[in-house]
Structure 1
Amino acid sequence: MARQSGAAPEPTAKAPKVKKRRWYHQLWQVFQMTRRQDPAITPILLGTIAVVLLLAVVISLLTGSWLWFVALLPFAVLAPMVVLARRAETAAYTQIEGQPGAAMAALGTIRRGWSFTQEPVAVDPRSQDLVFRGVGRAGIVLVSEGPAGRAARLLEAERKRTARVVNGVPIHLVQMGDGEGQVPLRKLPRTVQKMRPTLTKQEVGEVTKRLTALGAARPPIPKGVDPYRTRPDRKGARGR
């Protein structure tokens, strides 16, 4: 029998290893983002470290034992990290404030107990006011973006639409904004989390299914279509 010719298959090359992101890489990224929005963060962090070290020295001198200095030394690292986390949160909210979908970005920081639609459930095509919906053990929450007057009308219309399929379920209306009666962006997650639970987990699942069947508030606008310039097809309306 003739031997089959041909070169042996070359061994497959190993995929390059993905370099892991260490915690200090993420910390440095957070610091850079915060510094862009808050240039004073560098002296604030250095001042925090200096205060902690000075306090450790004073306590050690007063007690006559430098064991206090060793014991308090980790706080020279922990304290500035806590300060950075607070300032980074403020910087992040400042960065997205005023942009469409900012409310959803803030609500997305809620890790447990609530599920929110990624897309708005109601949109005003002229003013671009939005309404987002969340479901949790406190019931349903509708969160609006826009001036108080317009947002109130949009919220009420969505509340009526939602109530038709979830009769008896609490529906909370929240206006995100800086106007009277509105909730500032940075306080929005806390406001939703403080709502009192009234539903069981099984009831939450049932409500979610009903709302999923409810669908969108209106047919989606095709891409590339300007909603301000669209006109009805008059011939089609007359049956021609």
Structure 2
Amino acid sequence: MAEKNSSGAAEAPKKDLKTVKAEQKARRKNEKIEAKERKKAKKAGKRGFFKQIADVFKMTRKADPSVLWWMIGAFVAALVIGLVIGLLTGSPVLWTLMFIPLGLLAAIIIMNKKAEKAAFSQIDGRPGAAGAALSQLGRGWVVDDDPIAVNPRTQETVFRATGKAGVVLVADGEYNRAKKLAEKQRKHLQRFLPNVEIRVLQVGKGPSEIELHEVKSTIKRMKKTLNRHEVRAVEQRISSMPVNNLGIPKGVDPNKMRPDRKAMRGR
């Protein structure tokens, strides 16, 4: 009996050792599977990036067929610059090869600019499009999601952005009615902000208007008149002003009308 117990006790460790080895083997197998899955996901991510680039190019080319020639021109121009520098320094091949990535970058920048214009062309003329253009200003600007003034009957709108260039009002709609609506808002703001530059832009295709895709670049070029702390103070002052209770007309939803930022960045 004692011998049986001792043999059973001797078998127990052997059984445990087999179990441990089996678990280790299973763990290594799982780690290999996980590593393969991560590798596949990484490759899929890379394919996804290039697919997005291809999708952006197709969308842009559909709206502007000349984009291909612009991209080729930018790439060739970069190579020519590299070749000229190479000829002057005695290393034409080296400099040409060095400028290939710059040529590709120039082509992608051209595509992104054209893609941005194409994206805005899809919403141009719709109520609230000015808000979509202002949403692209990015850091340093405080942009109201909703229009600060609306003509409910004819759907002219005025959107506001506050930044280092002061306060910018962007009017959208029929020229005369939109101008009147924006001027009313400008005078109202001027009473509360007497020392702040308040500018008015009108979106459209007329001689005194700017196109939708030019709103961002036009505002970015404006002269800076406020520092970061003054911008915050102006925004706080605006927040304390009486709220315009006019509702947003049907069809105006700037949150749903913003162009695809990923498409603009090409990723």
TM-score (structure 1 length as normaliser): 0.70
Amino acid at match of 1:77: L
Q: Would the aligned equivalents of 1:45 and 1:83 in 2 still touch at CA under 8 Å?
A: yes
One of 58, 64, 69 as aligned partner of 1:32 = 58
**CA distance 1:73–1:96, change in 2 (3 Å):** same
Work out the CA distance in 1 between the residues paired with 2:148 and 2:225: 23
User: What are the superposed Cα offsets for residues 67-117 of structure 1, whole Å, 9 maximum, x if unpaired?
Assistant: 454334334533432332232122122222112222222222222332110
**Cα 1:59–1:122, aligned 2, differ >3 Å: closer, same or farther?**
closer
Query: What residue identity is the alignment partner of 2:149?
Result: A
Residue of structure 2 equivalent to 1:111: 138
Q: 1:31, 1:84 within 8 Å by CA — same for their partners in 2?
A: yes
Give the C-alpha shift of residue 209 in structure 1.
Answer: 1.5
How far did residue 153 of structure 1 move? 0.9
Aligned residues of 1:131 and 1:143 also touching (Cα < 8 A): yes
Matched, 1:100 2:127: yes
1:202 and 1:37, CA in 2 relative to 1: closer, same or farther beyond 3 A? same
- Are 2:156 and 1:156 aligned? no
Alpha carbons 2:125, 2:173 under 8 Å: kept: no
- Root mean square deviation, CA, Å: 3.5
Q: Which moved more, 1:134-143 or 1:33-42?
A: 33-42
Q: Which runs of 5 or more residues in structure 1 are unaligned?
A: 1-15, 224-240
**Secondary structure of the corresponding residue to residue 114 of structure 2:** helix
1:158-196 Cα offsets, whole Å, 9 max, x none, are 123223333332211111212232222222212212222
The corresponding residue for 1:231 is none
Gaps of 5+ in 2: 1-36, 251-267
Q: Which is bigger in relative contact order (C-alpha 8 A, separation at least 6)?
A: 2
When normalised by structure 2's length, the TM-score is: 0.63
Q: Distance in 2 between matches of 1:190 and 1:28?
A: 26
For 1:70, the aligned partner's letter is: L
Comparing both structures, which one devotes a greater share of its residues to helix? 2
Percent identity for Structure 1 against Structure 2: 37
Aligned to 2:196: 169
The residue aligned with 1:130 is: 157
